[in-house]
Amino acid sequence: MGCITIYRYDNIRYTPTNENEIEVYSTTLPQKSYIEIAEIVLEDSKSVHKLKKEAAKLGADAIIIIGSASISSYVGVWSGWGSSESVESGRKAIAIKYTNQGKTE
């Protein structure tokens, strides 16, 4: 299992949704009105399925993939010099909830 971090944007608890119905966006944004409810960070997996599963637990209707998660590691120290490197290791997404459900826009 990987490390999952969730940053909630509010304290509202939504009814969980079906992970198979979570819509996924990455290069375009939804055409429906929505609110952002949380950021989900998977630190050791790039699995969209895992993002959808976590979003469904939060009651989201969709996710917007915003990039890769990364961790920085300190490589070493010698003669007062050190270096660090950033390693791409996961994926980040914003969980969203549609507003105006059932209304035409």
Sign of CA dihedral 33, 60, 95, 38: positive
Distance set, CA 30 to CA 33, 43, 76, 85, 100 (Å):
8, 25, 44, 35, 13
Residue pair 2/43 in contact (Cβ under 8 Å)? The answer is: yes
Residues 6+ apart with CB under 8 A from 54: 4, 6, 40, 42, 95
Residue pair 92/39 in contact (Cβ under 8 Å)? The answer is: yes
pLDDT attached to residue 70: 63
**In the numeric block, which tokens belong to residue 45?**
């997996």
Measured in degrees and rounded to the nearest 5, phi and psi for residue 53 equal -65, -45
pLDDT attached to residue 2: 67
Mean pLDDT for all residues in the chain: 84
Residue pair 22/61 in contact (Cβ under 8 Å)? The answer is: yes
Does pTM surpass 0.95?
no
What is the tens place of the pLDDT at every residue in 61-91?
A: 999 999 887 655 444 555 555 555 545 578 9
